[in-house]
Amino acid sequence: MAVTVRIPPALRSLTEGSDEVSVDGGTVRAAIDALEAAHPGLKERVMNAEGKVLRFVNLFVGEEDIRMLDGLDTELKDGDDVSIIPAIAGGR
Amino acid sequence: MSELGAKTVLLVGAGGLGCPAGLALARAGVGRLLVVDDDTVEGTNLHRQILFGEADLGRPKAVVAAERLRAAGARAEAHTTRFLPETAASLLDGVDLVVEGSDNFPSKFVVADGCALGGVSVVQAGAVRWGGWALAVQASGAGDEHRTCLRCVFEEVPSGPVLSCELAGVIGPVVGVLGALQAKLALALLAGEAGGALYSYEGRRDRLRLTHPAPRAECPHALGAIDDLERIDYAPSTASA
C-alpha cells in the first residue's frame, strides 16, 4: 500500500529536505511508523509517547482531517496522500 | 456610508501578514482599521512588510502602518502595544473583526480566546519559509453551537522548537499570499459568510489546500471552560510533547 506523506517545512530537516516521502502503510498509524523507520525522529514530532497525535499537529488524508475519520486507525488505500500540518507561528 | 465603510477591523501585528491584509482591507473600503503592534521598523522587515520603506526605519510599525492605511482611504488608528490578556477587552471594544498576524503562539492563542469570549470573528494565520496556514473563525453568537476556532484545530500553545520568521526566515511573496488571503477571508466574514475554512499553503509547489475542520467537542470554548483570559497560562505546553 504505497502512500505519499507530505512533509511540512518545519520537519524537512529530518527528511534531507524532501517535501514528500513515499511509504507503505495500510493505516495512518502504519504510515507514520514507516516514516519513522525511514527518517528517525519524525514520529516524535507528530505523536506523543502515548501514541496520540500531538495536540498542535493536524493530519489529513486527502482533504479529510483524520479526527473526522478514524484517527490514526484511518485506513489508507494505494496512492493516498497524507499531509502533516503543524501549527506555524510566524507572520511578522 | 457603505456597509463595509461602517465596519471596524483590528489588525494584530503590522508585519508580513498584517501589512498586505491591512492595505487590501483599506482599499476594499473597510471604514476603520486599528493597528496593534509594539515593534519598530527594521531593515530586515522591508522585503515582506510592504507598508514600510527605508525612511521608516526605527519608527513604530503601528504608527507608520496607520499613516499608510489612512492614505489608502481608511480611518486608521495606531496602538503601540501588544494584544495581551489585560489589554484584550479594551482593544476589542467596538471591533467587528480581527485579523491576527502575530509571530508567536501565545499571542495567537490570546487573540483566539479573546475573540471567542468577546464574540468577535477573527482571521488567523501563520507563515514560515515557504509555507503557512490561514483560518477563518466566525464568532459564535449567544445560544449558537460552538464554531471551529484555533483551539479546535491547534489545541494548545505548542511546545518544543518553534520556527519564526525572524529565526527561520520567510519568503516575502509567501507571507504576502497569506496576508491577502486573510483579507479575502475577512471580507467574506464581514459580508456574512460562514467561517470554518482552513487553508494550508505550500509556496514551493504552489499548493493551496482548503479544508473545513469540524468544531471539536472537547474544545475549551465549546465547553465554556475559558471565561477569564488573565487566568489562562499561555506558556508553551509540555503535557503532550
The structural domains of chain A, ordered by start, are 2-86 (3.10.20.30)
Which residue on chain B is closest to A46 by alpha carbon? B241
Taken as a whole, chain A contains a residue count of 92
Tell whether the model's pLDDT for residue A91 goes beyond 70. Answer: no
Torsion of Cα atoms, B51 then B54 then B56 then B58, to 10°: 120
Q: How buried is B73 (Cβ within 10 angstroms: 0-12 exposed, 13-18 middle, 19+ buried)? A: middle
- Cell 457603505 appears where? B2
Within 8 A of B18 by CB-CB distance, chain A residues are: 91-92
**pLDDT number for residue B239:** 35
**pLDDT number for residue A58:** 87
Angstrom distances, CA of residue A55 to CA of A7, A52, B32, B104, B164 = 17, 8, 36, 17, 19
Tell whether the model's pLDDT for residue B208 goes beyond 60. Answer: yes
Selecting from B127, B158, B209 the residue whose C-beta is nearest the C-beta of A56 gives: B158
Provide the pLDDT confidence category of residue B142 given band limits of 50, 70 and 90: confident
Work out the average pLDDT over A19-31.
94
Q: How far is B11 from chain A (nearest CA, A)?
A: 12
What are the structural domains of chain B? 4-231 (3.40.50.720)
**pLDDT number for residue B167:** 59
CB A24 within 8 A of CB A1: yes
Cell of residue B36, nine digits: 496593534
> Which value does ipTM take for this structure?
0.71
Question: Out of B15-24, B77-86, B156-165, which region has the weakest mean confidence (pLDDT)?
Answer: B156-165
Question: Out of A15-19, B18-22, B120-124, which region has the weakest mean confidence (pLDDT)?
Answer: A15-19
**pLDDT number for residue B206:** 86
A78 touches chain B (CB under 8 A): no
Which is nearest to B112 in space by CA: A8, A56, A71?
A56
Q: What's the whole-model pTM score?
A: 0.88
Within 8 A of A8 by CB-CB distance, chain B residues are: 131
The 10s digit of each residue's pLDDT in B100-130 is: 999 888 999 999 999 999 999 999 999 988 8
> What is the C-alpha to C-alpha distance for residues B110 and B104, in angstroms, rounded to an integer?
10
Q: How far is B126 from chain A (nearest CA, A)?
A: 5
> What is the C-alpha to C-alpha distance for residues B176 and B48, in angstroms, rounded to an integer?
7
Tell whether the model's pLDDT for residue B87 goes beyond 70. Answer: yes
Within 8 A of A67 by CB-CB distance, chain B residues are: 213-214, 216
> What is the C-alpha to C-alpha distance for residues B169 and B104, in angstroms, rounded to an integer?
14
